């Protein structure tokens, strides 16, 4: 078996309200390959898929890898999104937030070149 890439996915209660929130957060429109799915692909590979599954909405998590954690912090502050947790080590810096349904989203910046990017 050869895996070519990975796609993170988050269940939400209402796809239209989630779409608007994620488009503001990510700064770009998502594509809708199906009426209940919105997805984004990223320049370094991989992507994020948000899908309607109301009974599981808010019980998911994902990590988005970024180049500049301070840029993310500034974006979150401008959007009035509260950082639930910030961590920093010699290897990685992270900021954790929650979407309106309660899904946890971690932004991570690797500071150790041996970590996957």
Estimate the share of the chain in helix, then strand, then coil, as percent rounded to the nearest 5: 20, 40, 40
Total domains in the fold of the chain: 1
Could you list the residue range(s) of the whole structural domain that residue 29 is in? Answer: 7-110
Digit-by-digit pLDDT tens for the chain (117 residues) are 887 888 999 999 999 999 999 999 999 999 999 999 999 999 988 999 999 999 999 999 999 999 999 999 999 999 999 999 999 999 999 999 999 999 999 999 999 888 865
Residue 71 lies in a domain: yes
CA–CA–CA angle 8, 14, 19 (5° rounding): 60
Q: What is the CATH number of the domain that holds 59?
A: 3.10.180.10
Torsion region of 22: left, alpha or beta (phi above 0 gives left; psi -120 to 50 gives alpha): alpha
- Cα–Cα distance, 101 to 14 (Å, whole number): 9
What's the confidence (pLDDT) of residue 116?
Answer: 65
What's the confidence (pLDDT) of residue 10?
Answer: 98
Q: Do the beta carbons of residue 26 and residue 40 sit within 8 Å? A: yes
What's the confidence (pLDDT) of residue 117?
Answer: 59
Torsion region of 73: left, alpha or beta (phi above 0 gives left; psi -120 to 50 gives alpha): alpha
Q: Do the beta carbons of residue 9 and residue 64 sit within 8 Å? A: no
Beta pairing, strands 104-110 & 61-65: parallel
Residue 117 lies in a domain: no
């Amino acid at each position: 078996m050869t895996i070519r890439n990975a796609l993170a996915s988050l269940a939400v209660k209402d796809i239209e309200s989630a779409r608007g929130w994620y488009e503001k957060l990510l700064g770009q429109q998502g594509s809708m390959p199906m009426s209940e799915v919105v997805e984004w692909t990223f320049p370094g590979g991989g992507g994020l898929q948000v899908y309607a599954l109301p009974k599981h909405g808010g019980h998911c998590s994902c990590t988005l890898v970024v180049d500049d954690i301070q840029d993310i912090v500034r974006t979150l502050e401008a959007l009035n999104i509260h950082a639930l947790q910030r961590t920093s080590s010699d290897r990685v810096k992270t900021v954790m937030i929650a979407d309106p349904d309660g899904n946890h989203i971690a932004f991570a910046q690797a500071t150790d070149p041996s970590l996957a990017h």
